[in-house]
Amino acid sequence: MLRVAVIGSGPSGVYTAQSLVEQEIVPDIEVYVLDRLPCPYGLVRYGVAPDHEKIKSLQNNLRTVLEHPRVRFVGNVEAGAPGLGVEELREIFDAVVFCVGAATDRHLGIPGEDLPGSHPATDFVAWYSAHPDAAATRFALTARSAVVIGVGNVAVDVARMLSRAAAELAATDMPQGPLGALADSRVEDVWMVGRRGPSQAKFTTKELRELGSLPGTEVLVRPEELALDPAYRDPAGLPAVARRNVEVLRGWAERPNGGGAPVGRRRRIHLRFFLRPVEMLGDAGGVRAVRFERTAPDGSGGVTGTGRFEEIEGQLVLRSVGYRGTPQPGLPFDEATGTVPHTAGRVLAEGAPLPGVYVAGWIKRGPTGVIGTNRPCAKETAQSLLADAATLAGRATAGDPVAALARAGQRPVLWPGWLAIEAAEAEWGQGLGRGTVKLPDWAGLLAAAQAADTSR
Protein backbone atom coordinates (compact mmCIF):
# COMPACT_ATOMS: atom_id res chain seq x y z
CA MET A 1 0.00 0.00 0.00
CA LEU A 2 1.27 3.44 -1.01
CA ARG A 3 -0.36 6.32 0.85
CA VAL A 4 0.11 9.71 -0.76
CA ALA A 5 -0.84 13.20 0.42
CA VAL A 6 -1.45 15.81 -2.25
CA ILE A 7 -1.38 19.26 -0.65
CA GLY A 8 -3.82 21.53 -2.51
CA SER A 9 -7.04 20.69 -4.31
CA GLY A 10 -6.75 23.11 -7.23
CA PRO A 11 -6.23 21.82 -10.77
CA SER A 12 -2.58 20.81 -10.23
CA GLY A 13 -3.44 18.85 -7.06
CA VAL A 14 -6.47 17.14 -8.55
CA TYR A 15 -4.66 16.30 -11.81
CA THR A 16 -1.81 14.85 -9.73
CA ALA A 17 -4.32 12.71 -7.79
CA GLN A 18 -5.86 11.60 -11.08
CA SER A 19 -2.49 10.62 -12.56
CA LEU A 20 -1.70 8.68 -9.38
CA VAL A 21 -4.88 6.60 -9.39
CA GLU A 22 -5.40 6.17 -13.14
CA GLN A 23 -2.41 3.89 -13.70
CA GLU A 24 -1.54 0.24 -13.28
CA ILE A 25 2.07 0.37 -12.08
CA VAL A 26 1.10 0.75 -8.41
CA PRO A 27 -2.49 -0.51 -8.08
CA ASP A 28 -2.50 -0.44 -4.28
CA ILE A 29 -2.49 3.31 -3.80
CA GLU A 30 -4.55 5.74 -1.72
CA VAL A 31 -4.44 9.48 -2.36
CA TYR A 32 -5.49 12.02 0.26
CA VAL A 33 -6.06 15.48 -1.22
CA LEU A 34 -5.55 17.99 1.59
CA ASP A 35 -6.61 21.63 1.44
CA ARG A 36 -6.30 24.53 3.87
CA LEU A 37 -9.86 25.50 2.97
CA PRO A 38 -12.91 23.35 3.68
CA CYS A 39 -13.72 23.71 -0.05
CA PRO A 40 -11.97 22.04 -2.97
CA TYR A 41 -10.94 23.29 -6.44
CA GLY A 42 -8.45 26.06 -5.55
CA LEU A 43 -8.31 28.81 -8.15
CA VAL A 44 -11.13 27.26 -10.18
CA ARG A 45 -13.44 28.16 -7.29
CA TYR A 46 -11.54 31.19 -5.97
CA GLY A 47 -9.76 32.64 -9.01
CA VAL A 48 -11.69 32.00 -12.21
CA ALA A 49 -14.05 34.96 -12.62
CA PRO A 50 -17.72 34.23 -11.89
CA ASP A 51 -18.80 35.19 -15.42
CA HIS A 52 -16.49 32.55 -16.92
CA GLU A 53 -19.03 29.82 -16.35
CA LYS A 54 -17.58 27.44 -18.91
CA ILE A 55 -14.18 27.39 -17.18
CA LYS A 56 -15.92 27.20 -13.79
CA SER A 57 -17.74 24.07 -14.97
CA LEU A 58 -14.33 22.35 -14.89
CA GLN A 59 -15.23 21.80 -11.25
CA ASN A 60 -17.40 18.92 -12.47
CA ASN A 61 -14.33 17.15 -13.91
CA LEU A 62 -12.32 17.79 -10.76
CA ARG A 63 -15.21 16.48 -8.67
CA THR A 64 -15.14 13.15 -10.53
CA VAL A 65 -11.52 12.70 -9.46
CA LEU A 66 -12.20 13.64 -5.84
CA GLU A 67 -15.02 11.09 -5.76
CA HIS A 68 -12.75 8.31 -7.08
CA PRO A 69 -12.76 5.37 -4.63
CA ARG A 70 -8.99 5.67 -4.08
CA VAL A 71 -9.07 9.45 -3.55
CA ARG A 72 -10.14 11.20 -0.38
CA PHE A 73 -10.67 14.95 0.03
CA VAL A 74 -9.60 16.26 3.44
CA GLY A 75 -10.30 19.98 3.79
CA ASN A 76 -9.57 22.47 6.56
CA VAL A 77 -6.08 21.03 7.04
CA GLU A 78 -3.11 23.36 7.06
CA ALA A 79 0.07 21.63 5.99
CA GLY A 80 3.01 23.50 7.48
CA ALA A 81 1.12 24.50 10.64
CA PRO A 82 2.86 23.73 13.95
CA GLY A 83 2.77 19.96 14.43
CA LEU A 84 2.20 19.34 10.74
CA GLY A 85 5.50 20.09 9.03
CA VAL A 86 7.05 18.00 6.28
CA GLU A 87 8.51 15.56 8.84
CA GLU A 88 5.12 14.98 10.49
CA LEU A 89 3.40 14.64 7.14
CA ARG A 90 5.97 12.00 6.21
CA GLU A 91 5.01 10.04 9.32
CA ILE A 92 1.39 10.02 8.15
CA PHE A 93 1.95 9.57 4.41
CA ASP A 94 4.52 7.61 2.39
CA ALA A 95 4.85 10.51 -0.02
CA VAL A 96 3.75 14.14 -0.09
CA VAL A 97 3.15 16.22 -3.23
CA PHE A 98 2.96 19.98 -2.73
CA CYS A 99 0.51 21.57 -5.19
CA VAL A 100 0.08 24.79 -3.27
CA GLY A 101 0.20 27.24 -6.17
CA ALA A 102 1.60 30.74 -5.88
CA ALA A 103 -0.13 32.22 -2.87
CA THR A 104 0.91 35.84 -2.95
CA ASP A 105 1.21 38.79 -5.32
CA ARG A 106 4.30 40.46 -6.73
CA HIS A 107 5.19 43.98 -5.65
CA LEU A 108 5.97 46.96 -7.86
CA GLY A 109 8.36 48.53 -5.38
CA ILE A 110 7.39 52.12 -6.25
CA PRO A 111 6.54 55.05 -3.95
CA GLY A 112 2.90 55.29 -2.93
CA GLU A 113 2.18 51.64 -3.76
CA ASP A 114 0.42 51.16 -0.43
CA LEU A 115 -1.73 54.29 -0.50
CA PRO A 116 -5.38 53.66 0.38
CA GLY A 117 -7.19 52.66 -2.81
CA SER A 118 -4.16 50.82 -4.26
CA HIS A 119 -4.56 47.05 -3.97
CA PRO A 120 -3.14 43.86 -5.41
CA ALA A 121 -5.58 42.64 -8.07
CA THR A 122 -5.55 39.31 -6.23
CA ASP A 123 -7.36 41.01 -3.30
CA PHE A 124 -10.07 42.19 -5.67
CA VAL A 125 -10.34 38.69 -7.17
CA ALA A 126 -10.53 37.11 -3.69
CA TRP A 127 -13.28 39.59 -2.76
CA TYR A 128 -15.57 38.95 -5.72
CA SER A 129 -14.81 35.21 -5.50
CA ALA A 130 -15.93 35.07 -1.83
CA HIS A 131 -12.59 33.70 -0.60
CA PRO A 132 -13.07 33.30 3.16
CA ASP A 133 -9.70 34.97 3.88
CA ALA A 134 -11.12 38.10 2.18
CA ALA A 135 -14.29 38.18 4.26
CA ALA A 136 -13.30 41.51 5.82
CA THR A 137 -12.32 43.08 2.47
CA ARG A 138 -14.61 45.74 1.00
CA PHE A 139 -14.35 47.48 -2.34
CA ALA A 140 -16.85 50.35 -2.33
CA LEU A 141 -16.23 51.20 -6.03
CA THR A 142 -16.75 54.91 -5.44
CA ALA A 143 -13.84 55.67 -7.82
CA ARG A 144 -14.66 57.37 -11.12
CA SER A 145 -11.48 56.12 -12.74
CA ALA A 146 -9.70 52.83 -12.05
CA VAL A 147 -6.17 51.94 -13.17
CA VAL A 148 -5.18 48.31 -13.68
CA ILE A 149 -1.42 47.85 -13.90
CA GLY A 150 -0.33 44.90 -16.05
CA VAL A 151 -1.68 43.31 -19.21
CA GLY A 152 -2.06 39.62 -18.30
CA ASN A 153 -5.24 37.58 -18.00
CA VAL A 154 -5.80 38.60 -14.37
CA ALA A 155 -5.70 42.25 -15.48
CA VAL A 156 -8.29 41.43 -18.15
CA ASP A 157 -10.45 39.64 -15.56
CA VAL A 158 -10.49 42.56 -13.15
CA ALA A 159 -10.97 45.16 -15.91
CA ARG A 160 -13.92 43.13 -17.19
CA MET A 161 -15.45 42.67 -13.75
CA LEU A 162 -15.14 46.42 -13.10
CA SER A 163 -17.02 47.01 -16.33
CA ARG A 164 -19.84 44.53 -15.89
CA ALA A 165 -23.28 45.58 -14.72
CA ALA A 166 -24.54 43.78 -11.62
CA ALA A 167 -27.51 42.43 -13.59
CA GLU A 168 -25.11 40.49 -15.84
CA LEU A 169 -23.66 38.74 -12.79
CA ALA A 170 -26.78 38.05 -10.73
CA ALA A 171 -27.05 34.54 -12.18
CA THR A 172 -23.52 33.63 -11.06
CA ASP A 173 -22.43 32.37 -7.64
CA MET A 174 -20.92 35.75 -6.74
CA PRO A 175 -21.62 36.77 -3.15
CA GLN A 176 -24.14 39.48 -2.33
CA GLY A 177 -21.66 42.14 -1.07
CA PRO A 178 -19.63 42.47 -4.30
CA LEU A 179 -22.77 42.21 -6.41
CA GLY A 180 -24.27 45.15 -4.51
CA ALA A 181 -21.01 47.11 -4.83
CA LEU A 182 -21.05 46.59 -8.61
CA ALA A 183 -24.68 47.71 -8.75
CA ASP A 184 -23.66 50.97 -7.01
CA SER A 185 -20.33 51.32 -8.85
CA ARG A 186 -19.39 54.80 -10.04
CA VAL A 187 -16.50 53.58 -12.18
CA GLU A 188 -16.66 55.12 -15.68
CA ASP A 189 -13.13 54.63 -16.95
CA VAL A 190 -10.90 51.59 -16.55
CA TRP A 191 -7.29 51.99 -17.70
CA MET A 192 -5.33 48.80 -18.33
CA VAL A 193 -1.67 49.66 -18.71
CA GLY A 194 1.30 47.62 -20.00
CA ARG A 195 4.94 48.60 -19.58
CA ARG A 196 5.90 46.96 -22.88
CA GLY A 197 4.22 46.83 -26.29
CA PRO A 198 1.01 45.20 -27.50
CA SER A 199 2.89 42.26 -29.04
CA GLN A 200 4.37 41.46 -25.60
CA ALA A 201 1.12 41.54 -23.65
CA LYS A 202 0.50 38.35 -21.67
CA PHE A 203 -3.28 38.08 -22.12
CA THR A 204 -4.73 35.44 -24.41
CA THR A 205 -6.83 36.36 -27.43
CA LYS A 206 -10.17 34.96 -26.33
CA GLU A 207 -9.95 36.94 -23.08
CA LEU A 208 -8.87 40.11 -24.89
CA ARG A 209 -11.61 39.85 -27.50
CA GLU A 210 -14.24 39.42 -24.79
CA LEU A 211 -13.56 42.98 -23.62
CA GLY A 212 -14.90 44.20 -26.94
CA SER A 213 -18.26 42.52 -26.46
CA LEU A 214 -19.18 43.77 -22.99
CA PRO A 215 -22.60 45.40 -23.04
CA GLY A 216 -22.42 49.14 -22.39
CA THR A 217 -18.61 49.27 -22.48
CA GLU A 218 -16.35 50.67 -25.15
CA VAL A 219 -12.72 49.60 -25.60
CA LEU A 220 -10.39 52.40 -26.63
CA VAL A 221 -6.87 52.07 -28.01
CA ARG A 222 -4.49 54.67 -29.43
CA PRO A 223 -3.31 53.74 -32.92
CA GLU A 224 -0.16 55.86 -32.64
CA GLU A 225 0.77 54.12 -29.36
CA LEU A 226 0.23 50.64 -30.78
CA ALA A 227 2.38 51.59 -33.76
CA LEU A 228 5.37 52.26 -31.50
CA ASP A 229 5.72 48.47 -31.42
CA PRO A 230 7.65 47.30 -34.51
CA ALA A 231 5.87 43.94 -34.29
CA TYR A 232 2.50 45.71 -34.46
CA ARG A 233 3.50 47.20 -37.78
CA ASP A 234 4.82 43.84 -39.01
CA PRO A 235 3.38 40.94 -36.96
CA ALA A 236 4.43 38.15 -39.37
CA GLY A 237 7.21 36.86 -37.10
CA LEU A 238 5.16 36.81 -33.89
CA PRO A 239 4.02 33.65 -32.08
CA ALA A 240 0.37 32.79 -32.87
CA VAL A 241 -1.22 34.21 -29.68
CA ALA A 242 0.66 37.51 -29.91
CA ARG A 243 -0.22 37.80 -33.61
CA ARG A 244 -3.90 37.25 -32.91
CA ASN A 245 -3.82 39.74 -30.04
CA VAL A 246 -2.32 42.33 -32.37
CA GLU A 247 -5.06 41.63 -34.92
CA VAL A 248 -7.78 42.22 -32.31
CA LEU A 249 -6.13 45.49 -31.22
CA ARG A 250 -5.73 46.58 -34.84
CA GLY A 251 -9.43 45.91 -35.40
CA TRP A 252 -10.25 48.25 -32.53
CA ALA A 253 -7.75 50.87 -33.73
CA GLU A 254 -9.24 50.90 -37.21
CA ARG A 255 -12.88 51.28 -36.21
CA PRO A 256 -14.58 54.09 -38.07
CA ASN A 257 -15.45 55.96 -34.86
CA GLY A 258 -11.71 56.41 -34.19
CA GLY A 259 -11.27 56.83 -30.46
CA GLY A 260 -14.67 58.21 -29.53
CA ALA A 261 -17.02 56.17 -27.38
CA PRO A 262 -20.52 55.94 -28.86
CA VAL A 263 -23.25 57.72 -26.93
CA GLY A 264 -25.09 55.46 -24.51
CA ARG A 265 -22.02 53.53 -23.34
CA ARG A 266 -21.66 53.68 -19.58
CA ARG A 267 -18.03 52.72 -19.36
CA ARG A 268 -14.78 52.83 -21.23
CA ILE A 269 -11.82 50.44 -21.03
CA HIS A 270 -8.64 52.16 -22.22
CA LEU A 271 -5.81 49.84 -23.26
CA ARG A 272 -2.48 51.63 -22.96
CA PHE A 273 1.06 50.45 -23.69
CA PHE A 274 4.69 51.49 -23.24
CA LEU A 275 3.97 53.07 -19.84
CA ARG A 276 6.00 51.98 -16.82
CA PRO A 277 4.55 52.84 -13.39
CA VAL A 278 6.96 54.95 -11.35
CA GLU A 279 4.82 56.38 -8.53
CA MET A 280 1.34 56.43 -7.08
CA LEU A 281 0.20 59.96 -6.31
CA GLY A 282 -2.13 60.88 -3.49
CA ASP A 283 -2.19 61.27 0.26
CA ALA A 284 -3.56 59.62 3.38
CA GLY A 285 -7.03 60.18 1.92
CA GLY A 286 -6.22 57.87 -0.97
CA VAL A 287 -4.53 57.45 -4.31
CA ARG A 288 -5.57 59.96 -7.00
CA ALA A 289 -3.36 59.05 -9.98
CA VAL A 290 -0.53 56.86 -11.20
CA ARG A 291 2.56 58.43 -12.69
CA PHE A 292 4.09 56.49 -15.58
CA GLU A 293 7.26 56.89 -17.57
CA ARG A 294 6.83 56.52 -21.30
CA THR A 295 9.01 53.64 -22.53
CA ALA A 296 10.37 52.69 -25.93
CA PRO A 297 11.21 49.26 -27.35
CA ASP A 298 14.88 48.33 -26.92
CA GLY A 299 14.92 46.01 -29.92
CA SER A 300 15.26 42.79 -27.93
CA GLY A 301 11.84 42.44 -26.29
CA GLY A 302 12.48 44.86 -23.43
CA VAL A 303 11.94 48.58 -23.04
CA THR A 304 13.97 51.60 -22.00
CA GLY A 305 12.81 54.76 -20.26
CA THR A 306 12.43 57.93 -22.31
CA GLY A 307 12.42 60.49 -19.49
CA ARG A 308 8.90 61.54 -20.48
CA PHE A 309 6.11 61.07 -17.96
CA GLU A 310 2.33 60.83 -17.95
CA GLU A 311 -0.25 60.73 -15.16
CA ILE A 312 -3.42 58.69 -15.35
CA GLU A 313 -6.20 59.57 -12.93
CA GLY A 314 -7.32 56.72 -10.69
CA GLN A 315 -8.96 56.63 -7.28
CA LEU A 316 -8.76 52.83 -7.44
CA VAL A 317 -5.56 51.08 -8.54
CA LEU A 318 -5.32 47.33 -9.01
CA ARG A 319 -1.78 46.01 -9.34
CA SER A 320 -2.01 42.97 -11.57
CA VAL A 321 1.64 42.13 -12.09
CA GLY A 322 1.61 38.39 -11.42
CA TYR A 323 1.52 35.93 -8.56
CA ARG A 324 4.45 34.67 -6.55
CA GLY A 325 5.04 31.37 -4.72
CA THR A 326 5.69 31.50 -0.98
CA PRO A 327 8.28 29.44 0.95
CA GLN A 328 6.86 26.22 2.38
CA PRO A 329 8.06 25.38 5.88
CA GLY A 330 10.62 22.59 5.67
CA LEU A 331 11.08 22.84 1.89
CA PRO A 332 13.91 24.46 -0.04
CA PHE A 333 12.89 27.60 -1.93
CA ASP A 334 14.31 29.56 -4.82
CA GLU A 335 13.75 33.24 -3.96
CA ALA A 336 14.52 34.38 -7.49
CA THR A 337 11.74 32.35 -9.12
CA GLY A 338 9.41 31.87 -6.14
CA THR A 339 9.43 28.11 -6.75
CA VAL A 340 10.66 24.94 -5.04
CA PRO A 341 13.76 23.46 -6.75
CA HIS A 342 13.01 20.07 -8.29
CA THR A 343 13.91 17.60 -10.96
CA ALA A 344 10.90 16.17 -12.80
CA GLY A 345 8.80 16.99 -9.70
CA ARG A 346 11.20 15.46 -7.12
CA VAL A 347 12.06 18.18 -4.60
CA LEU A 348 15.80 18.90 -4.48
CA ALA A 349 17.51 19.88 -1.23
CA GLU A 350 21.11 20.97 -1.80
CA GLY A 351 21.05 19.26 -5.15
CA ALA A 352 19.82 15.86 -3.95
CA PRO A 353 16.20 14.57 -4.04
CA LEU A 354 14.38 14.85 -0.71
CA PRO A 355 12.92 11.34 -0.35
CA GLY A 356 9.15 11.15 -0.72
CA VAL A 357 8.60 14.89 -1.32
CA TYR A 358 7.36 16.24 -4.66
CA VAL A 359 5.90 19.37 -6.26
CA ALA A 360 3.48 20.08 -9.10
CA GLY A 361 1.75 23.15 -10.53
CA TRP A 362 2.75 26.79 -9.97
CA ILE A 363 4.99 26.07 -6.96
CA LYS A 364 6.96 23.79 -9.31
CA ARG A 365 7.11 25.83 -12.52
CA GLY A 366 5.99 29.38 -11.58
CA PRO A 367 2.66 31.15 -12.08
CA THR A 368 2.24 30.73 -15.83
CA GLY A 369 0.01 28.88 -18.25
CA VAL A 370 -3.67 28.07 -18.34
CA ILE A 371 -5.47 25.42 -16.29
CA GLY A 372 -4.73 22.70 -18.85
CA THR A 373 -0.97 23.34 -18.52
CA ASN A 374 -1.23 21.61 -15.14
CA ARG A 375 -2.10 18.27 -16.70
CA PRO A 376 1.29 17.35 -18.21
CA CYS A 377 3.02 19.02 -15.25
CA ALA A 378 1.08 16.85 -12.76
CA LYS A 379 1.63 13.76 -14.87
CA GLU A 380 5.40 14.23 -14.86
CA THR A 381 5.44 14.51 -11.05
CA ALA A 382 3.14 11.49 -10.63
CA GLN A 383 5.42 9.42 -12.88
CA SER A 384 8.46 10.32 -10.77
CA LEU A 385 6.59 9.36 -7.60
CA LEU A 386 5.36 6.08 -9.05
CA ALA A 387 8.90 5.25 -10.19
CA ASP A 388 10.04 5.72 -6.57
CA ALA A 389 7.09 3.74 -5.13
CA ALA A 390 9.11 0.65 -4.14
CA THR A 391 11.32 2.71 -1.81
CA LEU A 392 8.39 4.64 -0.32
CA ALA A 393 5.52 2.20 0.24
CA GLY A 394 4.80 1.35 3.85
CA ARG A 395 7.13 3.98 5.37
CA ALA A 396 4.38 5.95 7.09
CA THR A 397 3.79 4.85 10.67
CA ALA A 398 0.97 7.03 11.98
CA GLY A 399 -2.00 4.81 11.11
CA ASP A 400 -5.28 6.22 9.80
CA PRO A 401 -4.38 9.56 8.17
CA VAL A 402 -7.56 11.43 9.08
CA ALA A 403 -7.23 10.46 12.75
CA ALA A 404 -3.52 11.36 12.66
CA LEU A 405 -4.32 14.78 11.17
CA ALA A 406 -6.86 15.35 13.95
CA ARG A 407 -4.20 14.34 16.53
CA ALA A 408 -1.92 16.92 14.92
CA GLY A 409 -4.45 19.61 15.88
CA GLN A 410 -6.41 19.85 12.60
CA ARG A 411 -10.21 19.71 12.25
CA PRO A 412 -10.63 17.90 8.93
CA VAL A 413 -13.68 18.56 6.76
CA LEU A 414 -14.29 15.46 4.65
CA TRP A 415 -16.23 15.08 1.40
CA PRO A 416 -19.67 14.96 3.11
CA GLY A 417 -18.74 18.24 4.82
CA TRP A 418 -18.00 19.81 1.46
CA LEU A 419 -21.29 18.45 0.04
CA ALA A 420 -23.05 20.08 3.00
CA ILE A 421 -21.38 23.40 2.14
CA GLU A 422 -22.59 23.03 -1.45
CA ALA A 423 -26.11 22.33 -0.21
CA ALA A 424 -26.00 25.34 2.13
CA GLU A 425 -24.84 27.57 -0.74
CA ALA A 426 -27.70 26.35 -2.94
CA GLU A 427 -30.16 27.00 -0.12
CA TRP A 428 -28.68 30.43 0.65
CA GLY A 429 -28.96 31.41 -3.03
CA GLN A 430 -32.51 30.19 -3.25
CA GLY A 431 -33.45 32.36 -0.27
CA LEU A 432 -31.99 35.34 -2.16
CA GLY A 433 -33.96 34.52 -5.30
CA ARG A 434 -30.72 33.53 -7.08
CA GLY A 435 -28.98 30.27 -7.98
CA THR A 436 -26.16 28.96 -5.80
CA VAL A 437 -24.44 31.81 -3.94
CA LYS A 438 -21.08 31.28 -2.24
CA LEU A 439 -20.77 31.58 1.52
CA PRO A 440 -18.13 34.28 2.02
CA ASP A 441 -16.65 33.55 5.45
CA TRP A 442 -14.95 30.85 7.48
CA ALA A 443 -17.66 30.72 10.14
CA GLY A 444 -20.41 30.13 7.58
CA LEU A 445 -18.43 27.49 5.70
CA LEU A 446 -17.44 25.58 8.82
CA ALA A 447 -20.95 25.76 10.29
CA ALA A 448 -22.34 24.33 7.05
CA ALA A 449 -19.72 21.56 7.05
CA GLN A 450 -20.53 20.80 10.66
CA ALA A 451 -24.10 20.01 9.65
CA ALA A 452 -22.74 16.97 7.80
CA ASP A 453 -20.77 15.86 10.86
CA THR A 454 -23.78 15.91 13.11
CA SER A 455 -26.04 14.16 10.59
CA ARG A 456 -23.59 11.25 10.06
We find the least distance from the C-beta atom of residue 192 to ligand NAP, in angstroms, to be 9
Closer by beta carbon to ligand NAP, 370 or else 443: 370
Closer by beta carbon to ligand NAP, 154 or else 228: 154
Whole-number Å distance between alpha carbons of 220 and 218: 6
- Which DSSP state fits 268? E
Contact status, residue 140 vs residue 341, Cβ threshold 8 Å: no
C-alpha torsion 401→402→406→411, nearest 10 = 140
Whole-number Å distance between alpha carbons of 9 and 71: 11
Closer by beta carbon to ligand NAP, 215 or else 301: 301
We find the least distance from the C-beta atom of residue 42 to ligand NAP, in angstroms, to be 12
Closer by beta carbon to ligand NAP, 46 or else 93: 46
Sheet with 189-193: list strands edge to edge: 118-120, 316-319, 145-149, 189-193, 267-272, 217-220
We find the least distance from the C-beta atom of residue 407 to ligand NAP, in angstroms, to be 37
Closer by beta carbon to ligand NAP, 153 or else 410: 153
Contact status, residue 268 vs residue 189, Cβ threshold 8 Å: yes
We find the least distance from the C-beta atom of residue 317 to ligand NAP, in angstroms, to be 12
We find the least distance from the C-beta atom of residue 152 to ligand NAP, in angstroms, to be 2
Closer by beta carbon to ligand NAP, 4 or else 148: 148
Closer by beta carbon to ligand NAP, 38 or else 297: 297
We find the least distance from the C-beta atom of residue 12 to ligand NAP, in angstroms, to be 12
We find the least distance from the C-beta atom of residue 43 to ligand NAP, in angstroms, to be 8
Whole-number Å distance between alpha carbons of 398 and 318: 46
Closer by beta carbon to ligand NAP, 2 or else 154: 154
**338-347 — which CB contacts under 8 Å span 24+ positions?**
338/102, 338/366, 338/367, 339/363, 339/364, 339/365, 339/366, 340/98, 340/364, 344/380, 344/381, 344/383, 344/384, 345/97, 345/380, 345/381, 345/382, 345/383, 345/384, 345/385, 346/384, 346/388, 347/98
Closer by beta carbon to ligand NAP, 355 or else 366: 366
> Which residue, among 155, 105, 108, has the nearest Cα to 276 in the 3D structure?
108
What is each CA distance from 268 to 119, 165, 224, 261, 262, in whole angstroms?
A: 21, 13, 19, 7, 10
Task: Enumerate binding residues for ligand NAP (CB under 6 A).
Answer: 108, 149-155, 157, 194-196, 200, 202, 204, 207, 277, 320-323, 367-370
Residue nearest to ligand NAP (CB): 152
We find the least distance from the C-beta atom of residue 81 to ligand NAP, in angstroms, to be 27
- Which DSSP state fits 334? B
We find the least distance from the C-beta atom of residue 295 to ligand NAP, in angstroms, to be 10
Whole-number Å distance between alpha carbons of 419 and 435: 16
